[in-house]
Amino acid sequence: MGVGILFRVAAFLATVFFISHLILTDAALEELDGLLPNGNFEEAPSPSNLKKTVIIGRYSLPKWEIHGMVEYISGGPQPGGMVFAVPHGTRAVRLGNEASISQLISVKPGTLYSLTFSASRTCAQDEILRVSVPPLTGELPLQTLYSSDGGDTYAWGFRPNSSIARLTFHNPGIQEDPACGPLLDAVAIKELSPPLPTRVNLVRNGGFEEGPIIFKNSSSGVLLPPKQEDLTSPLPGWIVESLKAVKYIDARHFAVPSGLAAVELVAGRESAIAQVIRTVPNKMYILAFKVGDAKNSCHGSMLVEAFAGKQTLKVPFESKGLGGFKAASLKFTAVGETTRITFFSSFYHTKANDPASLCGPVIDEVMVFPTK
């Protein structure tokens, strides 16, 4: 009898341990938010492989391969009076002149992926972060600070051509101060499923529900670079057709008109999104969408311009930065088998409580359907 009781107790404890392990594993995976191995750089090099902040040794940064002068940085005040923002944890890396870090990632050839990562400049000089996953390479200029704390988060889209790809972040610049260079933090990856048009909506991903990872602890949104810097958009179906980035925002941290995500046009006429849809020549269609503000203290008289074929619509929205939206629609006649729809903000805006942070109107629930 005693042996049977002990056996049942042992079995019960094993079951509890197994269930607890599953719960902890699921919690850990949820907390990771798609981070690459040591993607937040919290796993530190051995103290013997650090010379002050400089990492010594090609493989000394766990899970990464480094070339050139790469520094291991703690967030906060630095020697010399500078302050580095590390928004996702406490550690980051800084890439010196011609320095790079890379990691091999397992992917599906031809599949669309997005990277999400925090990147910011550390000096007043122009800095560039080059991102590459063969066969694609993009260069992100970091001189424009979209948020005043310097903790901008970017997304970058790519389609790999092999099952094992090398992701590389590289500082191609030669700065007067060799200690200058971009700060990199929290690198995550997501496989994307590009939505298709439907009978009721010819726009792909019109609600912006499919997009890059937005970190759970981030309240700044994710910047989507223009097509000149990223030929493969991290926002399926859409082209960032502008000189500067647009911002991908989520309902967890912002007011969005509908669903879980939306796009904020943060750089006036330099911040635009577009999509080319299939249409029937001479057939009439309606372009419908919603315009609002993100409830992020972005205030003032906003004006969104929408284009569909040869037709244009200007939609004013008076924002107090407290959320809210309005619906708008535009009737147009298709002139070809494809029609380009485009949205941009006519004005530039900053936050009422933070004049150094760029912001703008929100676009959501974009639809195109034929008139009856």
List, for residues 27-46, the tens digit of each pLDDT value: 333 333 599 999 999 999 99
The verdict on 365 and 238 lying in the same domain is yes
Asked which of 49-53, 80-84, 200-204 is least confident by mean pLDDT, the reply is 80-84
Total domains in the chain come to: 2
Q: Are residues 251 and 360 in the same domain?
A: yes
* Structural domain boundaries enclosing 170: 47-191
Q: Which of 137, 171, 191 is the last residue of a domain?
A: 191
One-letter amino acid at 50 equals L
Among 144, 172, 191, the domain boundary falls at 191
Q: Is residue 24 a part of any domain in this protein? A: no
Half-sphere exposure of 33 (CA within 13 A, CB side): 17
What integer pLDDT is reported at residue 25 of this predicted model? 32
271/170 same-domain check: no
One domain, residues 227 and 328: yes
Residues 6+ apart with CB under 8 A from 36: 63, 103, 105, 167, 187, 188, 189
Structure tokens at 91: 């550690």
137 pLDDT higher than 60: yes
Average pLDDT over residues 353-369: 92
Residue type, 190: K
DSSP H or E stretch at residue 27: helix 2-32
Indicate if the alpha-carbon torsion angle 300, 255, 227, 85 is positive or negative.
positive
pTM, two decimals, is 0.87
Q: Same domain for 156 and 231? A: no
Of 10-19, 125-134, 261-270, 321-330, the poorest mean pLDDT is in 10-19
pLDDT over 90 (residue 194): no
Q: Is residue 213 part of a domain?
A: no
**Residue 289 shares a structural domain with residue 249:** yes
Is 330 a member of any domain?
Answer: yes
Q: Is residue 228 part of a domain?
A: yes
Do 183 and 253 share a structural domain?
no
Q: How many residues does the chain have?
A: 372
Domain end, chosen from 173, 191, 209, is at 191
Q: Give every CB contact of residue 347 below 8 A, 6+ residues apart in sequence.
A: 268, 300, 301, 302, 303, 360
Residue 80 shares a structural domain with residue 138:
yes
Q: How far apart are the first and last CA of the chain?
A: 79
Phi, psi at residue 20, to the nearest 5°? -60, -40
